[in-house]
Amino acid sequence: MDDNTTHRQSLKGLVASINELNVMAEQKYTPIVEAILCSHSRDTKHIENTLDGLFDFCSYEPTLLLFKRLCRYYYDIDPAATVNHIHFYRDYWDAETETQSFLGKRS
C-alpha cells in the first residue's frame, strides 16, 4: 500500500468513528431531552448540563435538533441562560445563525 491509500483508510476509519459517536450521543440524549420536555422539568442545572452535553455533537443534525428543542423549551424558564447557550453555539458552530431564528421565532 502506498501512503495515500493508508491515509485514506485512516481517514475513513476516523470518519466512521465520529459518525458512530454522533449516533451514540443522539441515542443517549434523546430520552433525556424527551423526559425533560414531557415532565415540564424546571431543573435548570439538569437542563444546562444536558445542553452542555449536546453541544459537543451539534455538528450532527439529529443532535442539533435536540439542542434546539431544548433551547426553545428552556427559553421560557431562563431566557438569559438560553441566549448564552445559543451565543456559545453560534461562536463555535455557526456564526451566521441569529438568536430569534434559532429559537424558531420571527421578529
- Check if the beta carbon of residue 52 is closer than 8 Å to that of residue 45: no
pLDDT of 9? 85
Q: Please give the average pLDDT of every successive group of 10 residues along the chain, which has 107 residues.
A: 80 90 97 98 98 94 96 97 93 66 58
Is 81 domain-assigned?
A: yes
pTM of the model: 0.80
Is 107 domain-assigned?
A: no
Is 20 domain-assigned?
A: yes
Is 15 domain-assigned?
A: yes
Counted domains in the chain? 1
Rounded distance between C-alpha atoms, residue 78 and residue 86, angstroms: 12
